[in-house]
Amino acid sequence: MLQLVPHLVTQHTARLWLCARGVDTGQLGSISLRVNGKEVPVKDWEAFPPARSSDWQPVGAMPLLYQLIEMGTLHPDRAYEASASLGNGEPARARFNTLPEQLGEETKPLRVLLSSCYFTGNKRSRLASALFAQLDRNGVRPHLRIWAGDQVYLDAPWYEFAIKTHSVSELEKLHSATYARTWFADQGLNTVLPQGANVFCTDDHELWNNAPHPSMVARDTGDPGKRKAWRAIARALGQAFQGDTANGHRFRVPPLDFFVLDTRVNRTQERLFSDTQWQQLRAWAAEPQGLGVLVLGQPIFESTSKRRGELGDYRLADYERDYSELMDLLGRATRSTTLLTGDVHFSRATWSSFPASATARNERRVTELISSPLALVAGGGLLSVLGDWVAAPAKASLPARHSFSGTTVHSDESLQSAAEGTMLLEFYRRGQRVFCTVSQWRLNDLDASRPSFRQEYFLGISQ
C-alpha cells in the first residue's frame, strides 16, 4: 500500500512524502510517481524501524519504507496533482498549491490553517476530516496547514501509561499503532493530509508528557533505560512521518518570513534548542526586512509553571536563560513578529507593542496566535496545567532590564474558547501594513456555514 503526503511547499519547490507498506523490496523499482502528468524519480528509500539502533532493539512492529522527494522548477501560485502507483493497484493521490510570489491584498490573502493537539482515541477526532472539507466547500481552502505539535499522543490514553509499565518491544508496538491510526486510518488524518501542503512542528506528546523529563503519567519514563528507548522509538517515528524537525525550516511569502522552530526534539534538562537551531534563530531574528512569522510548539506569553512538570508540562518560561534570549531576540528585532502555536487546549490572540526607536523607525508588534485542541486527548481537562481559557500574563516572566520589561501584554477577551477545532489565518496587506483575519472553526460548527469567531488583527508594518 502506498501513501502520498505533501510536506513543505514553496513557490518553486515541493517536498513529497512517499510511504510504502507491505511492499516487497523487489517491487520498489516498479513504483512510479507523477506530478501533473510528469514522471518524478523515486529512489533512496529509508526504513522504519531502522536496521540498527544503539538505544533499542527493533522488533519490526510496523515495517515500512519511506522517502521525502524534493521537487524543483515548479511555478508560483499554481495547483498540482500527484499520484504514486504500483502495478495495477489503486494509486495514492495528493494535491497541493505552490505559494504565491508575494503576499496579496485582502481579496487574495495567504491562507494558513493552524492546528494542534489531535487525539485519535477521541471519537470526535474523525470529524476533523469533515471540518477541513467544509473549508474547501466554503471557498477558503488553505495554501498550507501548520501542525503546531501533538499530532500524535504516544503517551495516551493516560491509563495505559500512568497505571501500567511496558517492555521496550511493547512500547514500539504501541507507538507504531498510534502513528498508524493517525496517518493511515480513515478515522485519523488519512483523508486530510494528502489534500494540501503540511508543515510539522512537534511537541511533548510526540515523545511523552513533559519530555525529556521523567513524567508521573508515563511510568516507563522513570526507568532511564526505557526512557532512552522510548525517546529513540519516538524520534525514529517522528522522523519517518513528520520529517526532520530537529532543524529549523524557513520559507517566505514576502513580506512574510516564516521560520518553523521545534522547541522539543533537541530539548534537554537545561536547554530548549541545539546550537544549530540557535544559529538559525539568530540569523532569522536579525533579518531587517519584512515581517517574521515564527512557528513554535508552545506559547511564549506564559508565566513559569507552578507545577514544575509533575503532571503538567514545563513551559518555555521555565527555561530561564533560553527563554530570556528568545524573547530578547523578538523584543529587539527591527521588524514585527507573529507567533503561531498550540499546546494549551484553548485558543487565544495576544500581542505586545514596541514604540518606534532609533533602530526601528515604525511601531513593532509581537503577536501570538494559539489554536488548540483539534481533538482533545482523553483526560486532557484533568491533566492540563491550565484547564480552561486564561489570558496571558500582563508582564512576561523576564529580568527587569529585559527588552520586554517596558511593554504590556494584551489578550483579546472576545476569543475565549477551549472548544475543539482549528484556526484559519488569512494574511494580507494594505500598502505596507500587514493584517491577519483569524477565524475559528469548531467541530461543533459542522452544521453551520460560518466560523464561530472572526476578527481582524493588525500585525505590523513591513520594513
State whether 59 and 113 are in the same domain: no
- Asked if 269 and 352 sit in the same domain, the reply is yes
**Listed residues 48, 80, 96: the one ending a domain:** 96
Quick one: 159 and 92 in the same domain? Answer: no
Residue 87 burial class via C-beta count within 10 angstroms: exposed 0-12, middle 13-18, buried 19 and up: exposed
228 and 333 belong to one structural domain:
yes
Q: How do the pLDDT tens digits run along the chain, 463 residues long?
A: 999 999 999 999 999 999 999 999 999 999 999 999 999 999 899 999 998 888 999 999 999 999 999 999 999 999 999 999 998 889 999 999 999 999 999 999 999 999 999 999 999 999 999 999 999 999 999 999 999 999 999 999 999 999 999 999 999 999 999 999 999 998 899 999 999 999 999 999 999 999 999 999 999 999 999 999 999 999 999 999 999 999 999 999 999 999 999 999 999 999 999 999 999 999 999 999 999 999 999 999 999 886 665 567 899 999 999 999 999 999 999 999 999 999 999 999 999 999 877 666 788 999 999 999 999 998 665 544 445 899 999 987 788 788 898 899 999 999 999 999 999 999 999 999 999 999 999 999 898 889 999 999 999 999 7
Q: Which residues of 221-239 are buried (b: 16+ CB within 10 A; e: fewer)?
A: beeeebbbbbbbbbbbbbb
Does residue 189 sit in the same domain as residue 237?
A: yes
Q: Which residues contact 325 (CB under 8 A, 6 or more apart)?
A: none
pLDDT for the residue 312: 74
Q: Is 132 found in the same domain as 84?
A: no
Cα separation, 436 vs 251, whole angstroms? 18
Question: Looking at the structure, do residues 86 and 218 belong to the same domain, yes or no?
Answer: no
Here the cell at position 72 is 524543483
- Cα 188 from Cα 168, distance rounded (Å): 25
For 1, the domain range is 1-96
Positive or negative torsion for Cα 200, 203, 207, 211: positive
User: 213: domain CATH number?
Assistant: 3.60.21.10
Same domain, 314 and 290: yes
Q: What does the block give as the cell for 342?
A: 498550540
Report d(CA 370, CA 49) in Å as an integer: 34
Look up cell 498549491; give the residue.
97
The C-alpha atoms of residue 95 and residue 9 are separated, in whole angstroms, by 11
> 10 φ, ψ to 5°?
-115, -160
CA distance 42 to 35: 12
Do 119 and 209 contact (CB within 8 A), yes or no?
Answer: no
Number of domains composing the chain: 2
Cβ 18 vs Cβ 33: under 8 Å: yes
Question: In the sheet that 197-200 helps form, which strands lie side by side, from edge to edge?
Answer: 197-200, 144-147, 110-115, 421-430, 433-442, 453-461
pLDDT for residue 11: 98
What is the grid cell recorded at 459?
Answer: 500585525
Q: What is the pLDDT of residue 386?
A: 44
What contacts 461, CB < 8 A, 6 or more positions away? 336, 362, 363, 432, 433, 434
State which of 67, 96, 125 marks the end of a domain. Answer: 96
CB contact burial 275-285 (16+ within 10 A = b; e otherwise):
eebbebbeebb
What the block records as the C-alpha cell of 304 is 513559569
Q: H/E/C letters for each residue in 20-66?
A: EECCCHHHHHHEEEEECCEEECCCCCEEECCCCCCCCCCCCCCCEEE
Q: Which residue has the cell 490572540?
A: 349
Query: Which residues pair with residue 114 across a beta bridge?
Result: 146, 423
Domain C-terminal end among 72, 96, 120: 96
Coil, strand, or helix at residue 87? coil
Give the separation between CA 301 and CA 348, rounded to whole angstroms: 11
Cell of 322: 533560553
Residues 121 and 57 in one domain: no
377 and 230, same structural domain? yes
Half-sphere exposure in the Cβ direction for 74 (13 Å, CA)? 26
In this structure, the answer to whether residues 91 and 178 fall within a common structural domain is: no
CATH code at position 25: 2.60.40
pTM across the whole model:
0.96
Same domain, 184 and 280: yes
